[in-house]
Amino acid sequence: MLKKVVLSSTILMGVLGVSAVSLPDLGLIKAEAAISDAKIQKVSVFGQNYYDGSDVPGNSTGTFYIVGDKNVTYTIKQYEFNRLVNTKSVTTIGLNSPALFNMQITEGNKYEVTYNGRVISTFVVRGH
């Protein structure tokens, strides 16, 4: 009976065009999807919150709020006028609990959230 079930499901998988199913592979896909959810939500400067694309006080330090899958370490790359000026590693707490980190804000800043060299999301502010 067990052989019939295995054979039937193998035939069905072939009919559906599924060549093989590997549970570790499915786990990797799920992990990659979770890693791709990371993003900087906002930056706080002098107690005021600013969001992606905002004009912010320049030449200051901002507290950035990042969310992402729990316990994943991302590299934040800071660019000033497309020139890399700083990097920082940040470990996320979860999708509903932002991790906080501080970085400088100058004039034209782009912050890339990266994982294994791949850009996951970007956050841009203009200091003035």
- Contact residues for 83 (Cβ-Cβ < 8 A; gap 6+): none
pLDDT attached to residue 51: 98
pLDDT attached to residue 6: 44
Q: What's the CA gap between 86 and 83, in Å, rounded?
A: 9
Residue 83 three-state SS: strand
- Contact residues for 60 (Cβ-Cβ < 8 A; gap 6+): 45, 46, 104, 105, 127
Query: Is the pLDDT confidence value at 83 over 70?
Result: yes
Residue 66 near residue 99 (C-beta atoms within 8 A): yes
- Sorted by where each starts, the structural domains of the chain and their CATH numbers stand as 2-32 (no CATH), 37-127 (2.60.40.1930)
Name the burial class of residue 105, with classes exposed (0-12), middle (13-18) and buried (19+) by CB atoms within 10 angstroms of its CB.
buried
Q: What's the CA gap between 54 and 76, in Å, rounded?
A: 19
Q: Mean pLDDT across the stretch 36-53?
A: 95
Residue 14 near residue 43 (C-beta atoms within 8 A): no
Question: Using 50, 70 and 90 to split pLDDT, how confident is the model at 14?
Answer: low
Task: For the chain, give the mean pLDDT.
Answer: 83
